[in-house]
Amino acid sequence: MTGSLVDDLAALLGAERVAPFDARATRDALRGPAIEPRADAVAYPESPEQVAELLAWCYEREVPLTARGGGTGLTGGATPVAGGVVVALERLNRVRALDPGQWRVEVEAGVTTATVQRRAREVGLYFPPDPGAAEQSQIGGNIATNAGGPHALRYGTTGDFVTGLEVALPPGEMVSLGGAVRKDAAGFDAKRLLVGSEGALGIITAAHLRLVPAPEARLPLVAAFADVRSGCEAVQAILGSGVQASAIEYLDGRTLGLAGGALPVLDAGGAGFLVIAEADGTADEAERQLAEIAAAVEPLAQRVARPRGREVDELWRWRDGVSNVVATARGGKVSEDIAVPVERLADAIEATLRIGAEHGLDACSWGHAGDGNVHATFLVSGDPAPPEELERVEAAVGELLREAVALGGTVSGEHGLGWLKRDALAYQASQAELELQRRIKRAFDPKGLLNPGKWI
């Protein structure tokens, strides 16, 4: 089909909007497992109408479509595995409207997360979702995975900021769900179902996003602890203090061993656990909340630092880079994304280490402590890793995901299932729920052509 599909799509969209498929350029940030990208062509539509035309053309001919944003996903959700067309959304990159007085922005799917954040900041507003890799990741992909990040604790995940979606749906139509209006209770909330649907129900082409007033100050506190238990006790103490922290992050001791040397504000040498808790608001308010957080944390901590000014940005830049530092430490990594009720956080962190040890794997974790979201990670010796190693990783991941469910949690807190966890929903969902998922899929995509070969 290669060649002829490229020609056909060139005739449909114009030659400058179609390219042959290049596997090297179309692999997600997913590391570790040897995913085999497979597609026949890449289309670069420049308008929502072209996305709908492309979808209609493919739907008639039963050609699979895999929508793709910045490729920063960690589960291979945007990596094509079943042939057909990759729908690259990067040319749908207009900020259609920014309304500072109404706290909102309308953007096309290919606008980067960093652009949304920056444009909001320039007018005194704030777009809180910060899943990382913001310069590369695109808002359409963030919506399709309901991306989170550190500040989801206070502000919610990407979906909580979506008031409207423009979507191309099978068999090839554009629909607008919601819009600039902040509340809408008319009909089933198909918009919220598209959020987190990983390109399997429709192709998001644009979104109306809600913004919030920018906090005047962000004051983090960094605290080192002797071990997992005392660190998690501090997390509980922060929650129990009644302060609404804007973020409560953690790194375990092994992660600190790999990435802690570059930590800008505190000597974490020898620490077994690190917590970053942040207060935001007006300067006075953030100070007062920070004091309450400190009062909760200090009795349990070995050392505490309160970064200020430029150090705050440095701290968060360092935090954003942790995943990559860990990935390169031994050549590669397989990172999981379980979430558990927050009182089971220590259990999930310790289970990661135990399961790693049982399979002879170097394990560590970090994540969004206040949300119970654990990026449990197994280090491997290459990218992709040797097959023997990957087999052990696969066994360990299977156990870990089951453990997350046993703890009352989920196999994915914020990355989605994609390709990596294509079998994992069955760990937590009943037969009735799995069947419901299939019925939802068929209601939107009866031919099963949207992002095939993944979890659904």
Calculated CA dihedral for residues 334, 338, 342, 343, nearest 10 degrees: -90
Report d(CA 294, CA 289) in Å as an integer.
9
Q: Does residue number 187 form part of the binding site for a second copy (CB under 8 A)?
A: yes
253, 281, 332, 452: which one binds a second copy (CB under 8 A): 281
The footprint of a second copy on this chain (CB under 8 A) covers a number of residues equal to 92
Q: Taking the CA atoms of the chain, what radius of gyration do you get in angstroms?
A: 22
Report d(CA 80, CA 87) in Å as an integer.
10
CB-CB contact of 105 with 112 (8 Å): no
Q: In this complex, which beta carbon is closest to a second copy, that of residue 188 or of residue 309?
A: 188
Sort residue 132 into left (φ over 0), alpha (ψ -120 to 50) or beta.
Answer: left
Q: Does residue number 428 form part of the binding site for a second copy (CB under 8 A)?
A: yes
Report d(CA 109, CA 97) in Å as an integer.
13
175, 291, 329, 395: which one binds a second copy (CB under 8 A): 175
Q: Does residue number 318 form part of the binding site for a second copy (CB under 8 A)?
A: no
Q: Does residue number 120 form part of the binding site for a second copy (CB under 8 A)?
A: no
Question: Footprint of a second copy on residues 195-224 (CB under 8 A)?
Answer: 195-197, 200-201, 212-214
- The pair of structure tokens assigned to 419 is 């390709």
Place of tokens 């992709």: 384
Q: Does residue number 455 form part of the binding site for a second copy (CB under 8 A)?
A: yes
Q: Does residue number 84 form part of the binding site for a second copy (CB under 8 A)?
A: no
DSSP alpha helix (H) spans, 267-344:
283-297, 310-329
Q: Does residue number 124 form part of the binding site for a second copy (CB under 8 A)?
A: yes
Q: Does residue number 190 form part of the binding site for a second copy (CB under 8 A)?
A: yes
Report d(CA 278, CA 292) in Å as an integer.
11
266, 339, 346, 397: which one binds a second copy (CB under 8 A): 339
Residue 221 pairs with which residues in a beta bridge?
277
Using the contact rule CB under 8 A, the part of the chain among 27-35, 315-323, 388-396, 441-449 near a second copy is: 441-449
Q: Does residue number 424 form part of the binding site for a second copy (CB under 8 A)?
A: yes
Provide the minimum distance between the beta carbon of 257 and a second copy in the complex, in angstroms, as a whole number.
Answer: 27
Question: Footprint of a second copy on residues 227-256 (CB under 8 A)?
Answer: 236, 239-240, 242-244
Residues in the chain: 456
Provide the minimum distance between the beta carbon of 278 and a second copy in the complex, in angstroms, as a whole number.
Answer: 15
Provide the minimum distance between the beta carbon of 216 and a second copy in the complex, in angstroms, as a whole number.
Answer: 9
Place of tokens 């819009």: 179
7, 122, 184, 391: which one binds a second copy (CB under 8 A): 184
Place of tokens 């790194």: 251
Report d(CA 33, CA 384) in Å as an integer.
6
41, 65, 152, 232: which one binds a second copy (CB under 8 A): 152
Provide the minimum distance between the beta carbon of 317 and a second copy in the complex, in angstroms, as a whole number.
Answer: 23
Measuring CA to CA, which residue among 418, 302, 449 is closest to residue 35?
A: 418
148, 231, 272, 332: which one binds a second copy (CB under 8 A): 148
Q: Does residue number 413 form part of the binding site for a second copy (CB under 8 A)?
A: yes
Provide the minimum distance between the beta carbon of 202 and a second copy in the complex, in angstroms, as a whole number.
Answer: 9
61, 182, 308, 317: which one binds a second copy (CB under 8 A): 182
Greatest Cα pair distance, the chain, in angstroms, is: 69
